[in-house]
Amino acid sequence: MCAIEAGKRGRRVLVLEHANKVGNKILISGGGRCNFTNLYATPDSYQSQNKSFCVSALTRYAPREFVALVEKRHIAYHEKKLGQLFCDGSANEIVRMLMDEAEAAKVTIRLRCNVTSIRRADGFLIETDLGFVAADSLAIATGGLSIPQMGATGFAYAVARQFGLNVVATRPGLVPLTSSGQALEFCRRLAGVSIPCTANCKGASFTENLLLTHKGVSGPAILQVSSFWQEGEHVQIDLLPGFDLLTHLKERQAARPKANLQTILSALLPRRFVEAMCETSLPNLDMAQVSIKDISAVAHALKDWTIHPNGTEGYRKAEVTLGGVDTNDLSSKTMGGVGIPGLFFIGEAVDVTGPLGGYNFQWAWASGYCAGQYA
Ligand SMILES: Cc1cc2nc3c(=O)[nH]c(=O)nc-3n(C[C@H](O)[C@H](O)[C@H](O)COP(=O)(O)OP(=O)(O)OC[C@H]3O[C@@H](n4cnc5c(N)ncnc54)[C@H](O)[C@@H]3O)c2cc1C
């Protein structure tokens, strides 16, 4: 996006990419259909040490701008849910669109090109394994640490530090959480079970599905809260959001005293999950035998299920990297490094991170657009 915009201004633009093709993350995103933006991607959706930093870019390049580009190219798309826009066909259409725009803006792209060092000269002197490149402006768009197996590197952070810019500590975001001990046994036994829920962590709350896995918990609700979770903290889960379980159980006790608690709960939650809960932490009794205290305890256990993750599945499985180049050291108007004319940082490399659902691409497009006006 940055290259396209700079090219449109008549700048001679060279993109250096160390992979053998561009847009790898676009291609794998959204299950191959690329969730390319979110209609509700407003600045307050993003995490950053400096929450107001992204306001300018997201206002100047809002989701509708990218949608206009997609529509100009007649790429069919749909809203899946919650403002999330996906291609009807394939993510490849988004890469093709960007490549065509880049070609129209006379951008040159050099693949399999690894940058080995950057020096301040009259502008910048960039050493690559394909030779030296001199440039007046340099935009670093090398992403974060997520999915190192696809070529992610900490390159942007190293460049930022080299030029005296601060880097906010990074950690994996939108990532499955892991468990240990008995909690892990429980998850393993139920691996594959998915339950709609509301997951809460440190004031952030998301109503989506939870998935039990061989390592702990995942699914959209957990990926979302994982960006707020830190070591030692717990995640609180309401397995029946918007449902008054306490009243329901009291009503069922009066109406079906001979029914087993497990049967009553299995009408509300996956049977395998209820069986495992009844074996480990809930009473396995007929409703007539369940005391009022027990009913409250059951309602509490399911409406306020608390898990204590022992970690995350790390950058290998993280969709994004939280933290990054400190926005206090960048101009929110140009994305340029403060006091370093010509050096820009955009996209995931910067300490701006969105939730699941098209927000992170929107940040990449918007920040790239802004830098492209000045680079
Ligand atoms: C599995 C997965 C699915 C996702 N799905 C979505 C989604 O549907 N919607 C959404 O909004 N976000 C999604 N994301 C997040 C989104 O992909 C990223 O936020 C976005 O790609 C960031 O864009 P970027 O240009 O900053 O970095 P990247 O897309 O990571 O691009 C960085 C590029 O720099 C190259 N590079 C790195 N180091 C060097 C170097 N030293 N020299 C030369 N080149 C280098 C890399 O090869 C890469 O091509 C997903 C992420 C993952 C991992």
Least confident among 89-98, 147-156, 163-172: 147-156
Residue finishing a domain among 266, 285, 313: 313
Residue 153 CA to residue 147 CA, distance in Å, equals 9
- What is the spatial order of strands in the sheet that 123-128 belongs to? 115-121, 123-128, 131-135
Ligand 1, from 26, 45, 111, 319: best to mutate by most atoms within 8 Å of Cβ? 319
Residue 283: band (very low, low, confident or very high) from pLDDT cuts 50, 70, 90: confident
Shared domain check, 168 and 70: yes
Task: State the average pLDDT over residues 82-108.
Answer: 98
CATH code of the domain containing 283: 2.40.30.10
60 pLDDT more than 90: yes
Shared domain check, 360 and 260: no
Shared domain check, 323 and 305: no
CB of 80 within 6 A of ligand 1: the answer is: no
Q: Read off the tokens for 78.
A: 């749909």
Q: Which amino acid is at 302?
A: L
pLDDT tens-digit readout, 345-366: 999 999 999 999 999 999 999 9
Residue 31: band (very low, low, confident or very high) from pLDDT cuts 50, 70, 90: very high
| Residue 216 φ/ψ, nearest 5 degrees | 160, -120
Residue 280: band (very low, low, confident or very high) from pLDDT cuts 50, 70, 90: confident
pLDDT of residue 241: 98
pLDDT of residue 284: 84
Residue 151 CA to residue 74 CA, distance in Å, equals 31
Shared domain check, 231 and 101: no
CB of 178 within 6 A of ligand 1: the answer is: no
Residue 154 CA to residue 66 CA, distance in Å, equals 28
Shared domain check, 193 and 46: no
* Cβ density class 133-169: b for 16+ within 10 Å, e for less: bebebbbbbbbbbbbeeeebebbbbebbeebebebbe
Residues of the domain holding 152:
2-172+319-372
Residue 165 CA to residue 337 CA, distance in Å, equals 7
pLDDT of residue 151: 84
Beta partners for 178?
216, 311
372 pLDDT more than 90: yes
CB of 118 within 6 A of ligand 1: the answer is: no
Task: State the average pLDDT over residues 143-165.
Answer: 95
CB of 115 within 6 A of ligand 1: the answer is: yes
CA–centroid distance, residue 151 to ligand 1 (Å): 9
Shared domain check, 132 and 19: yes
Residue finishing a domain among 313, 328, 355: 313
Task: State the average pLDDT over residues 293-307.
Answer: 95
Domain count within the chain: 2
Residue finishing a domain among 269, 287, 313: 313
